[in-house]
Amino acid sequence: MELPKIHFSSNSNLIDSQVEISMSGLSPYDVVTLKAEMRDNFGVDWESCAVFEADTEGRVDLMTAQPISGTYSEADVNGLFWSMLPKSNVPSKKQTPLTPLEVNLILKRQEALLDVLSLKRHFVLPEVKRIPVREQGLVATLFSQPGEDSFPTIIVLGGSEGGLHEENAALLASYGFNTLALAYFGIENLPDELVNISVDYIEKAINWLGNQPNVDSKKIGMVGTSKGGELALLSASMFPDIKAVAGYAPSSVVYPGISQNNSSSSSWKYKGEELPYAKGKVPEKVGAYLGKSIQTGKPIIFRDWYFHLAEGQTNAEIAVENINGPVLLISGGDDQLWPSDIMSDRVIERLEQKNHPYYYEHITYPGAGHYFVAPGMPTTDSDKIAFASDFTMLLGGNPHANAIAHAKAWETVKAFFGKYLSGNGEE
């Protein structure tokens, strides 16, 4: 007689891999619980669960089985990963963001333990070299392909959270690119706040990459998220060495800087000159809503504020027609931080009006919000974020819709750079 068993397979050990999860050896119509437990690399314990009824052969396939109850409700082979909820927070003495995540799958019938399976999910392939970069004022990490050949290289920019974030760059490098995770504020000797950040710094990073022996200087791309998406489009419009650019939840305009002390300056400057930024008139009712939300502790929605700030601000529009290559934009239709869906449409309109000679596309996911990361991690906190320590800022979407959008967008971005940066770029 076959004993109850969990089966797991994937097309790779990477966290974004396609997986298959099933259970066998159960009694027909047996009701069991499959639980997942994980501690992330920042000291947070996560868990998820789903209750299933076995089929007539005593099997459950998570690709098709709808949970009776649990942390997710629709048939989804990735449901146990994205629906994880934080269980406890054990502060880690040392953050290790690229350490493989160990996930335990636990199969139970009521309180009886039937099987346990441990699996490791990796952020980066072992052959990819991680090289800290602290040269020429740069704060970055280069993820480099093995060997002596030169490779297409992608600069990866984070958003308004600041600091240096390596996970997405490391994962992207596992698909045949070099990547440079580049911080631009909020760490070490860089500016503390996102105000008047020098775009010369991006130019310096591009030039530095061009001098690295394993970087193909004719195949440099850039991808950014949120404010990093704004900066990616801006940089690509200014520096022709960037040959392909992708933006997650980007902006079509230069917005004001983000600061607790200086709200009347641009986010960016170049050669010491502040770049024009959006100063549109925000209706009093929008300002009143934000003020009331802050006073009452209600979650804050900034979408309308940013929308009106950009209205009619043609001098602040990014000259995307100057980008020396293809453009891919990703947005969520329920973005509550700013209207990245509308602004991405405006980028496309400008490219059409200016007869941009390269490929360009905007893909929007109607149920998704502002938050976009590589797939495989929990998304249960992806619809909101703590803001200024005392408030919650809504990002939009919901955990399930965001998880689906993350997975689809990630595959699209990989294919985009694979075709237009690694390939010949021909349509």
Q: What is the pLDDT of residue 1?
A: 66
- Fold category of 5-121 in CATH: Immunoglobulin-like (2.60.40)
Q: What is the DSSP letter of 277?
A: -
- 42-71, pLDDT tens digit by residue? 888 999 999 999 999 999 999 999 999 999
Those residues of the chain that have pLDDT short of 50 are: 424-427
Q: What is the pLDDT of residue 390?
A: 72
Q: What is the pLDDT of residue 339?
A: 96
**Cα maximum dimension of the chain:** 76
What's phi and psi for 197, nearest 5 deg? -70, 130
Q: How far apart are CA 50 and CA 69, in angstroms?
A: 6
What's phi and psi for 265, nearest 5 deg? -140, 160
Numbered ranges of CATH 3.40.50.1820 in the chain: 129-422
Q: What is the pLDDT of residue 90?
A: 59
What pTM was computed for the model? 0.92
What's phi and psi for 362, nearest 5 deg? -120, 125
For residue 106, the tally of other CB atoms under 10 A from its CB is: 18
Q: How far apart are CA 201 and CA 209, in angstroms?
A: 12
Distance from CA of residue 368 to its chain's centroid?
Answer: 12
User: Is there a contact between 129 and 166 (Cβ–Cβ < 8 Å)?
Assistant: no
Q: What is the pLDDT of residue 297?
A: 82
- 142-153, pLDDT tens digit by residue? 999 998 899 999
- Three-class SS state of 323: coil
Numbered ranges of CATH 2.60.40.2240 in the chain: 5-121
Q: What is the pLDDT of residue 97?
A: 75
Question: Class of the 129-422 domain?
Answer: alpha beta
Q: What is the pLDDT of residue 95?
A: 61
Q: What is the pLDDT of residue 358?
A: 97
Task: Single out the residue of 56, 29, 35 nearest to residue 47, CA to CA.
Answer: 35
Q: How far apart are CA 304 and CA 281, in angstroms?
A: 11
Residue 141's beta-bridge partner residues?
A: 132, 181
Q: What is the pLDDT of residue 314?
A: 94
Residue 242 identity: I
